Amino acid sequence: MTTSNLVLVGFMGTGKSTVGKKLAERLGWQFQDSDAVLEDEQQTSIADLFRQYGEAHFRTLESKTLESLLAQRGQIVATGGGAVLAEENRACMLRNGFVVALKASPETIIHRVSADINRPLLQGNLEERVHTLLEQRKSAYDFAHAMIDTTELTTDQIVDLIIQQANL
């Protein structure tokens, strides 16, 4: 395909980071996880950034990181689940890549994220937080070029589907 980047969006726990890495390995493309790049740039964790400077500051840094990542070509880019909330980020993704949204049932998301207790937006009652945020973001991922429900799929099956749907 002629598309320059493949961008993964979706709620926390839908598998963007895991699937993105596998997809990049399969295709021999470069993999970039915007959260990991940001942590590298800032020399601290996402959780720490939220704690020290708050979400608004994190969002500003996230937009800058995405913009500079997407100025490059030939990469699989896994975004953070909230990157789609800013219109400028959505436009940047659509301009610079084929955007695939991953989704999953609330129960699956809760199960998957419970392995990592560090996500700052999921502190407190996990079930309640996931349901509240899913409700707030229910249409947030609809702008993508393609959507894959990962609930019943292995990461290898998701990789196959993305390759098919993005014509890679």
Ligand X SMILES: Nc1ncnc2c1ncn2[C@@H]1O[C@H](COP(=O)(O)OP(=O)(O)O)[C@@H](O)[C@H]1O
Ligand Y SMILES: O=C(O)C1=C[C@@H](OP(=O)(O)O)[C@@H](O)[C@H](O)C1
Which H/E stretch holds residue 78? strand 75-78
SS3 153: coil
The total of other beta-carbon atoms located within 10 Å of residue 138's CB is 10
Residue 147 DSSP one-character state: E
Closest approach of Cβ 35 to ligand Y, in Å?
Answer: 5
* Residue of 7, 25, 2 whose CA lies nearest to 66: 7
137 in a labelled binding site: yes
Residue 82 found at the interface with ligand X (CB under 6 A): no
Residue 46 found at the interface with ligand Y (CB under 6 A): yes
Task: Point out which span in 9-17, 24-32, 91-99, 155-163 binds ligand Y (CB under 6 A).
Answer: 9-17
59 in a labelled binding site: yes
Residue nearest to Mg ion (CB): 17
Closest approach of Cβ 142 to Mg ion, in Å?
Answer: 20
- Residue of 6, 7, 9, 14 that binds ligand X (CB under 6 A): 14
Distance, CA of 68 to CA of 28 (rounded, Å): 21
Q: Which of residues 15-44 bind Mg ion (CB under 5 A)?
A: 16-17
Counting residues that bind ligand X (by CB under 6 A) gives 16
CB-based contacts of 73: which residues, under 8 Å, 6+ apart?
Answer: 4, 5
- Cβ closer to ligand X: 17 or 96? 17
Residue nearest to ligand Y (CB): 80
The total of other beta-carbon atoms located within 10 Å of residue 116's CB is 10
Q: Dmax of the chain from CA atoms?
A: 44
Residue 45 found at the interface with ligand X (CB under 6 A): no
Q: For binding to ligand X (CB under 6 A), which residues are involved?
A: 10, 12-18, 78, 112, 115, 150, 153-155, 158
Going by the annotation, the residues of the binding site for ATP are: 13-18, 119
